[in-house]
Amino acid sequence: MRLNTGLSLFLSATCALVIAGCPADHTGEDEDGDDSGVSLTDASVDGGVVDSANSDAAVGVDTATETDAAAGTDAAGTDAAGTDAAGTDAAAGTDAAVGMDAAVGTDAAVGPACTSDRECDPGQICEEPVCVAGCRSEADCPMNLPQCATQLGDHGQCVQCLLPDHCDQRFDQCVEYRCTTECDAQNPCPWPYTCSEPTGGVCVRCLEDEDCGFGTICEDSACVEGCRLDEDCPRGEICEQNSCMQGCRATPIDTCPLSMHCDDTSHLCVEGCGGSDDQCRQNEVCIGNACVPSCDSTDACPNGTHCDTGTSICVEGCWDDANQVGNCGFGRVCDPSDGACVGCYAGDVSACVTPSVCDVVNRECTLQCSSDEYIWACEGRGWYCDPDRDNLCVECLEDDHCDDFSHCDSASGSCLPDDGRPLCAPCDSDEQCGDAGDLCVNLDHGMLMDEQVCGIDCSAGLTCPAGTSCQEVGAPTRGHQCLPANSVMELSTCKAFMDTANFIECRSDWDCGLTRNRDAICSDVGLSAGHCTMLCDPAVQNECPNIQVVCQPIEDDAPHCGPPV
């Protein structure tokens, strides 16, 4: 028996609210127990067909309940909510649309760890130990999907409607958990909805991708998050299986940010321009996988470089082939012997203003400490008077005048960096750090709080020191290094690691770590004076950064690293 769409929808909704007594032709079951109900795809064409990919989903009835037919009853007839309660009808659950204008939630998403529903986002419930998509009641659902269909999915699903009464005044029907209404040329749909059939149908959110906004596509007449082409995704992402994901393609156009290029094998953006000038900024060219300034004269080059007329690129050195002096910037001069920008050199001491003189070894202007006045000037800079070098002010006379990671070069009176630096020591290059494989790593803690420090190579399975863990560093990966790790503090920094390991004294949290309270705190537990420490988890082995420091479960205080008490 075929009914027009308006009548079938009305009868279906009515039957769903009645406990018993629906005519067999309207409930989806005849007297013989056969399934002959009116599904959306069975509605007559002249009455308006709702084209849905879910051919099993019916309006308030069960069209795929073979077990219902065997029993001679229809589960929809006992469902006071007006929805299909039959456990065998899973088709409606497959209409899970995620994103803008979706009428049914998804049961595939897994969220963060939790112990109760209150810790999960709207549209999720806690199924320990993690949040999963689902609902137990309307209270679990977001505003755009306010109803909970507990019979859908593994954990229930948030939907737009269960009954027509759940829809606003623009719509008078609830079809497949979506609010809609009949439409035709004389009765168009409210914006931004469109009519499923020009000659007569129901209002749906979309018929094609163009009906949806950026970042969404049309699936089952709903706008959902997704993509069709790489061009639909932000730069640095590609479209795979209708979803934007981190990645890139090298052809036809490299989709990576400037100064990076796409690796054909990993489909990841890696450092360097990859031989393509297109991956460099304007007035730059790609040479040896690096973007370098291009030029037509030395005047176009940065300070300390000159224009190579053969390649039209700026190269190191302020003295070009034609013996023309390049730019060195204010207060600097070009030494033609090696093309270096210096403060002064033996052939030109004019940059040194009296009373300063030229230190020809370091090629910098400095002071002579031949009188008490200039001795004070040296000390005021934290430098020292060197009687063996014409009483020049120098940075150091002995190693103790330098920091823990440098030594004094007696020839120049300068502090030079040591090689073989330990974990968390400041560094400028990998060569300065420990053994082979130890890297100089930049730790970006945000808010201009970077640390550039030495790690310890753990790529071969080395057990990391207490207070650290083996972490992947670099993008793309440069290797694996032992670096500070704490499971409780908001940040794990080398500064906090060293302050805690060395029992640095403090008066407040401001004296510890890089940021107050986020990576270290000041505590007086176990010592006569306040000392820097970190909160910790006693269940985590070797979380504190010193064999003499243990994680103490302190009475009336959170556990933190300190000496045994």
Query: Per residue in 488-543, pLDDT tens?
Result: 988 899 999 998 888 788 888 888 988 767 889 888 755 556 888 888 888 888 88
| 100 within a domain of the structure (yes/no) | yes
Residue identified by tokens 């080395």 is 462
| 153 within a domain of the structure (yes/no) | no
Do both 246 and 371 map to the same domain? Answer: no
Do both 178 and 93 map to the same domain? Answer: yes
Q: How many domains does the chain have?
A: 6
Cα separation of 523 and 500, whole Å?
Answer: 10
Cis geometry, peptide bond prior to residue 355 (ω within 30 degrees of 0)? yes
pLDDT at 447: 66
Burial tier of 426 (Cβ tally within 10 Å: 0-12, 13-18, 19+):
middle
Low-confidence spans in the chain with pLDDT less than 70: 1-111, 236, 255, 319-327, 370-377, 380-381, 447-448, 475-477, 516, 525-529, 547-548, 554-556, 564-565
Question: Could you list the residue range(s) of the whole structural domain that residue 186 is in?
Answer: 1-104+160-219
Query: What's the pTM value of the predicted model, to 2 decimals?
Result: 0.37
Q: Are 454 and 441 in contact (CB under 8 A)?
A: yes
Domain boundary among 484, 500, 518: 484
Do both 278 and 310 map to the same domain? Answer: no
Closest CA to 443 of 546, 500, 537, 515: 515
Do both 17 and 60 map to the same domain? Answer: yes
| 140 within a domain of the structure (yes/no) | no
Residue 392 one-letter amino acid:
L
Do both 93 and 177 map to the same domain? Answer: yes
Do both 498 and 449 map to the same domain? Answer: no
| 92 within a domain of the structure (yes/no) | yes
| 224 within a domain of the structure (yes/no) | no
| 133 within a domain of the structure (yes/no) | no
Do both 186 and 43 map to the same domain? Answer: yes
* Backbone region of residue 136 per phi and psi (left: phi > 0; alpha: psi in -120 to 50; beta: other values): alpha
Domain boundary among 464, 484, 504: 484
pLDDT at 103: 58
Q: Are 262 and 254 in contact (CB under 8 A)?
A: yes
Do both 68 and 36 map to the same domain? Answer: yes
pLDDT at 192: 87
Q: How many angstroms from the chain centroid is the CA of residue 154? A: 29
| 374 within a domain of the structure (yes/no) | yes
Do both 20 and 81 map to the same domain? Answer: yes
| 65 within a domain of the structure (yes/no) | yes
pLDDT at 110: 59
Q: Residues 284-343: pLDDT tens digits?
A: 888 888 888 788 777 777 777 888 778 888 877 886 555 555 567 777 888 888 888 888
Rounded to whole angstroms, what are the CA distances from 155 to 80, 90, 149? Answer: 20, 13, 9
Domain boundary among 417, 439, 469: 417
pLDDT at 441: 92
What mean pLDDT is reported for the chain? Answer: 74
Rounded to whole angstroms, what are the CA distances from 406 to 171, 379, 415, 455? Answer: 76, 20, 6, 18
Do both 490 and 470 map to the same domain? Answer: no
Do both 526 and 390 map to the same domain? Answer: no
Cα separation of 201 and 460, whole Å?
Answer: 66
Do both 392 and 530 map to the same domain? Answer: no
Dihedral in degrees, nearest 10, Cα atoms 424, 426, 431, 435: -20
Cα separation of 347 and 177, whole Å?
Answer: 86
